[in-house]
């Protein structure tokens, strides 16, 4: 873990409960929880240290059934293997790490956030350890992830095939997220914009 909560480099303000995992380019990224993919960006191959690179960060955003969203940032160009509307399971491969956006080097920026009035706010998260205890990760320590229920890509199910009720739910979630996303783009000038996370 290269940067933890309230990190000295960029985890401030609304993004203070974010985690940065040092990875090599092209390493596999797995979903932390079940959810619906509500947004992706994967068209950029640009990354660097200056503020001008903020807009080039690729990412995957997944909605969870408790109303929170997980965002996986700095994905490599064309590195998303899920699509908007896909239902993903915890432990499922969703993309590949990169160094897009405002970065010092390749890594995964991970955060869970909830919408708040005119903004969004990250929330603190804990990881379940090997003995089913909650663990809060600390910066500059090495961790190995393991998910016993990891599924392969062939288990990727588009939620539209599940039921009419879920189709309605998907449309509402994607529509509501789209509005939230537009709002977040409108406040993208602040220094803690997702593209500015290092």
Tell me the per-residue pLDDT of 90-124, one tens digit each, with 9 for 90 and over.
Answer: 989 999 999 998 888 888 888 888 887 767 778 78
Q: Is the pTM of this model over 0.85?
A: no
Domain boundaries, the chain: 13-196
The confidence band for 155, taking pLDDT boundaries of 50, 70 and 90, is very low
pLDDT of residue 108: 86
Residue 181 annotated among the catalytic residues of the structure: no
Q: At the top level of CATH, which class does the domain 13-196 belong to? A: mainly beta
Above 70 in pLDDT, residue 69?
yes
For residues 18 and 5, what is the distance between their CA atoms, to the nearest angstrom? Answer: 6
Neighbouring CB atoms inside 10 A of 76's CB total: 22
Question: Which residue from 118, 140, 130, 151 is spatially nearest to 30, judged by alpha carbons?
Answer: 151
Residue 22 belongs to what H/E stretch? strand 18-22
List the beta bridge partners of residue 87.
Answer: 36, 157
Please compute the mean of the pLDDT values over residues 163-180 and round it to a whole number. 49
Query: CA-based angle 182:184:190, to the nearest 5?
Result: 140
For residues 125 and 160, what is the distance between their CA atoms, to the nearest angstrom? Answer: 30
The confidence band for 149, taking pLDDT boundaries of 50, 70 and 90, is low
pLDDT of residue 115: 80
pLDDT of residue 37: 97
Q: Contact, 59 vs 111, CB < 8 A?
A: no
| List 107, 109, 158, 181, catalytic entry | 107
pLDDT of residue 153: 32
For residues 91 and 29, what is the distance between their CA atoms, to the nearest angstrom? Answer: 9
pLDDT of residue 135: 64
For residues 109 and 159, what is the distance between their CA atoms, to the nearest angstrom? Answer: 26
For residues 88 and 157, what is the distance between their CA atoms, to the nearest angstrom? Answer: 7
Question: Which residue from 1, 9, 11 is spatially nearest to 113, judged by alpha carbons?
Answer: 11
pLDDT of residue 62: 96
Least confident window among 65-74, 120-129, 152-161: 152-161
The confidence band for 162, taking pLDDT boundaries of 50, 70 and 90, is very low
Distances (CA, A) of 14 to 74, 138, 173: 18, 19, 22
DSSP character for 32?
S
Please indicate whether residue 175 or residue 153 has the higher confidence score (pLDDT). Answer: 175
pLDDT of residue 72: 95
For residues 180 and 174, what is the distance between their CA atoms, to the nearest angstrom? Answer: 10
Above 80 in pLDDT, residue 57?
yes
Above 80 in pLDDT, residue 14?
no
Structure tokens at 136: 């809060």
Structure tokens at 115: 């919408």
For residues 118 and 91, what is the distance between their CA atoms, to the nearest angstrom? Answer: 32
């Amino acid at each position: 873990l290269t940067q933890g909560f309230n990190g000295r480099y960029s985890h401030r303000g609304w993004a203070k409960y974010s985690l940065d995992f040092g990875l090599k380019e092209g390493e596999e990224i797995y979903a932390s929880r079940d959810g619906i993919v509500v947004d992706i960006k994967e068209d950029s191959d640009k990354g660097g240290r200056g503020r001008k690179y903020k807009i080039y960060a690729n990412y995957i955003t997944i909605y969870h059934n408790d109303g929170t969203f997980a965002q996986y940032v700095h994905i490599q160009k064309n590195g998303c293997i899920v699509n908007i509307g896909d239902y993903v399971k915890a432990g499922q491969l969703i993309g590949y790490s990169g160094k897009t956006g405002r970065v010092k080097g390749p890594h995964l920026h991970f955060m869970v956030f909830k919408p708040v009035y005119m903004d969004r706010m990250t929330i603190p998260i804990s990881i379940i350890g090997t003995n089913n205890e909650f663990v809060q990760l600390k910066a500059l320590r090495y961790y190995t992830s393991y998910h016993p229920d990891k599924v392969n890509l062939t288990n990727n199910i588009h939620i539209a095939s599940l039921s009419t009720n879920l189709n309605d739910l998907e449309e509402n979630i994607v529509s509501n997220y789209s509005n939230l996303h537009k709002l977040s783009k409108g406040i993208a000038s602040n220094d803690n914009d997702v593209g500015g996370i290092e």
